[in-house]
Amino acid sequence: MIRRLSGPERIWLNADPEGAPFALSIVVPGQGSTQGLQAALSAAAKANPGARAVLGHGLWSPRWTAGPLPALQTLAQAPQPGPLDWMPRAPFQLAVAPGPTLVFTAHHGLMDGRGLWHMAQEVFRSWRGEPLLGGQDDIDDRSLIQQGMPSPTPGRYPAPTGTHQGGGRPIWAHVYLPGPQSRLLPRLAHAIALHARGRHGAETLRFDVPVDLRSGQHSTANLTGIASLEVAAEASLDQIHAELQRVLEGKQAHGWLKKAQEVRWLPHWAIPGLVRKRTQADLAESRFPNAGVLSNLGRVDLQTLTAPGFTPSTCYWIPPCGPNTTAFVGLMGDGQGLHLSIVMPEGLSNKGRLDALISDIQAALV
């Protein structure tokens, strides 16, 4: 056994029974050869058990157990903006598309963004013949819960693009913004809030900000909490920036982990029905747990993604999307500019609404 399922992992594993996998990808376009990549993947997976995990059966619920070493997969083409219908069902997968383009993908129930990034880095270390860091993948987020942390207050908020109009297929959009950027998350929240005001008027919105809770551990596991950023209708950029700093310093993300542990006491077979019921209510009312998820994986040092015969041209990531996701925005810089990816259900992105949102975000960030 690698580890028992935590509360958040139970939630994420049941976010996709009726849609695409609740998975995320890190994409590395480049030039050159992939010779030696399978051997590098095998060595990295041996050192990081989470990369070869499969969902096994336990007395009360499934658990992550060690499976076979992953085999390199192939894609007919590199990921393209549009429907996320190419996402694999495997817990973790490394695929190669023409270019070559390397695509690291993991289900969010197994890995978070930092966990998948750690695995990608391990593959490249192995590919270059460098020592591996390994992964403490038996750690789960229960060990990160701190006493006295308040649980988050639930709420219901509108989606920034308006009412849900049916259909839950995830749609992905991607833009590249050249040049340096600063105060990205506050500016992003400000831009989305201003866009939403055109559809909902003066209403306070909540944005969820994933927070990496690792304390020096190297792990592929999902060790992310969530801090909630409240944005009043008339809030200025400086006020949003100050509020974001306050909630990050206040350990809200640990409180979310505490709240999520309540799911641990539910039989795993009962969770899909509860998730489905909550999702149906969200879609019917067009009110959701948040108005968006904003996540910045930071600036990539492309030198860490080189290998003998392979040179990366850039790197970006694709966030996960569930049926009641409002807008999951993922950011990543490559030293020359900013990659911005947004995933949304089709029912919230259709009729040009996703394009309009992206246009307003670009205008605010450029």
For residue range 39-76, what is the model confidence (pLDDT) as tens digits? Answer: 999 999 999 999 999 988 765 677 888 899 999 999 99
Q: Does 213 score more than 80 pLDDT?
A: yes
Does 62 or 150 have the greater pLDDT score?
62
* Inter-residue contact 70 to 92 (CB < 8 Å): yes
Number of other residues whose CB lies within 10 A of the CB of residue 97? 19
Tokens encoding 310? 């392979």
**C-alpha to C-alpha distance for 88 and 90, rounded to whole angstroms:** 5
Mean pLDDT of 227-235: 87
Strands 73-74 and 92-97: parallel
| Confidence bin at 26 (pLDDT 50/70/90) | very high
Q: In terms of Cα–Cα distance, which of 222, 215, 226 is closest to 256?
A: 226
Low-confidence winner among 48-52, 165-169, 273-277, 358-362 (lowest mean pLDDT): 165-169
Tokens encoding 131? 């020592």
**C-alpha to C-alpha distance for 190 and 291, rounded to whole angstroms:** 12
| Confidence bin at 353 (pLDDT 50/70/90) | very high
**C-alpha to C-alpha distance for 80 and 77, rounded to whole angstroms:** 8
Residue ranges of alpha helices (H) inside the chain are 7-13, 37-47, 113-128, 184-200, 237-249, 252-260, 271-285, 346-349, 353-365
* Inter-residue contact 21 to 87 (CB < 8 Å): yes
**C-alpha to C-alpha distance for 333 and 342, rounded to whole angstroms:** 15
Contacts of 180 (CB under 8 A, 6+ apart): none
Per-residue confidence (pLDDT) for residue 151, from 0 to 100: 67
Does 366 or 218 have the greater pLDDT score?
218
Fill in the DSSP letter of residue 181.
-
Strands 328-333 and 293-299: parallel
What is the per-residue pLDDT across 173-196, written as a single tens digit (0 to 9) for each?
999 998 877 888 999 999 999 999
Does 1 or 46 have the greater pLDDT score?
46
CA distance to 31, 49, 132, 272, 304, per residue, from 122 (Å): 20, 12, 6, 34, 10
Over pLDDT 90: what percentage of the chain?
A: 52
| Confidence bin at 1 (pLDDT 50/70/90) | low
- ∠ Cα 131 134 140 (to 5°): 165
Mean pLDDT of 15-25: 82
**C-alpha to C-alpha distance for 205 and 291, rounded to whole angstroms:** 6
**C-alpha to C-alpha distance for 50 and 65, rounded to whole angstroms:** 9
CA distance to 165, 223, 248, 347, per residue, from 351 (Å): 10, 36, 36, 9
Tokens encoding 222? 């999902």
Does 141 or 95 have the greater pLDDT score?
95
Please state the pTM of the whole predicted model.
0.93
* Inter-residue contact 94 to 123 (CB < 8 Å): yes
Q: Does 134 score more than 90 pLDDT?
A: yes
| Confidence bin at 199 (pLDDT 50/70/90) | confident
Mean pLDDT of 148-159: 76
**β-bridge mates for residue 332, sequence order:** 339
| Confidence bin at 146 (pLDDT 50/70/90) | low
Per-residue confidence (pLDDT) for residue 313, from 0 to 100: 97
Q: Does 138 score more than 90 pLDDT?
A: no
Which residue carries 């969200």 as its tokens? Answer: 282
What mean pLDDT is reported for the chain?
Answer: 88
Q: In terms of Cα–Cα distance, which of 185, 285, 169 is closest to 228?
A: 185
Per-residue confidence (pLDDT) for residue 100, from 0 to 100: 96
What is the per-residue pLDDT across 239-254, written as a single tens digit (0 to 9) for each?
999 999 988 887 777 7
Mean pLDDT of 261-278: 80
